[in-house]
Amino acid sequence: MVNNRFLNCRGKLVSLEKPLIMGILNVTPDSFFDGDRYSDEKSWLERTGKMLDEGADIIDVGCVSTRPGAKAVDEKEEIKKVVFVLDSLAAHFPDAIISIDTYRAAVAHEAVHAGAAIINDISGGTMDPDMYQTIAYLRVPYILMHISGTPETMQQNPVYQNVTKEIINFFAEKSSQLRHMGINDIIIDPGFGFGKTPEHNMQLLREIHLFRFLPHPLLIGISRKSMIWKTLKCTPAEALNGTTVLHTLACLNNAAIIRVHDVKEAQECLTLVNKIYPASTSGDTLPA
């Protein structure tokens, strides 16, 4: 059961009693699904406004692609882009809760000072030794994600004895370390597709109910990923229906946040789940 019922986002308490929708804003030219669609200011402002109108609770901004095979981008370039995008968003959507998708402590530091409320770290602190100390200083919610390897190498040959057990142990160890540093607003993300085969991903989702025994909210990021379109033998552009099915399963099994490309459809999914199983979304009662 989730013990943390609220996130403190720049002094605003955000309830986790029902699942939140995190809308994806990739301002990179090479993301796996929407690369180069929102890489200029006009398009990313339109995209953000649309997601907020459709019900997004959080906007997750990525200025560096972390798709499989993606190469690292210079840190100074990432900071420059992050600050520019955040200044732009703050001017047009001052009340929006913004998350920054970065694995670099220096980027996290500059992003929070530019208005970001959450740091979403795909590396779980494994790619920058200064990340945990930076989060402790910044005192913002931290998304602790599991990855095996780096975006450039993670899909070359991922191997686990038991993927679910190993990731739960990873979260137990890392979250304990974070709590000892005074970091309490921790969200855990199993990292679907990040150093996992389609079979690993399916096992994780099948056993996702086991993550409720960890004392932190669970974020699920499966939107249009290869575990869906490879299974259905379609393309990412054709994977919306499959995405919605898996979002439904995730929300019936304790997901506190779903990270999505398609906010309207995710909102409709949550509306129906909440209507049928109003208690299941808080982890108290699940359907038989």
Is 47 inside any structural domain?
yes
CATH of the domain at 273: 3.20.20.20
What is the pTM assigned to this prediction? Answer: 0.90
d(CA 206, CA 197): 14
pLDDT recorded at residue 153? 66
Q: How many CB atoms lie within 10 A of CB 29?
A: 11
Q: Which amino acid type is present at position 194?
A: F
Place of tokens 């996290």: 108
Q: How many domains does the structure of the chain reveal?
A: 1
pLDDT recorded at residue 279? 58
| Candidates 139, 225, 264, 275; catalytic one | 225
Taking CA atoms, 245 is separated from 141, 251, 261, 267, in Å, by: 28, 10, 14, 13
Is 203 inside any structural domain?
yes
Is 287 inside any structural domain?
no
pLDDT recorded at residue 81? 92
Is 142 inside any structural domain?
yes
pLDDT recorded at residue 64? 83
Is 1 inside any structural domain?
no
Give the tokens for residue 275: 């209507």
Quick check: is 104 catalytic?
no
| Candidates 5, 259, 264, 275; catalytic one | 259
Quick check: is 259 catalytic?
yes
Q: Convert 194-257 into a string of H (helix), E (strand) and C (coil).
A: CCCCHHHHHHHHHCHHHHHHCCCCEEECCCCCHHHHHHHCCCHHHCHHHHHHHHHHHHCCCEEE
d(CA 119, CA 108): 6
Q: What domain range is 12 assigned to?
A: 6-282
User: What residue ranges of the chain have pLDDT lower than 50?
Assistant: 1-3, 32, 35, 280-288
pLDDT digits (tens, 9 = 90+) for 24-65: 999 876 554 554 577 789 999 999 999 999 999 999 999 887
Is 116 inside any structural domain?
yes
Q: Are 212 and 218 in contact (CB under 8 A)?
A: yes
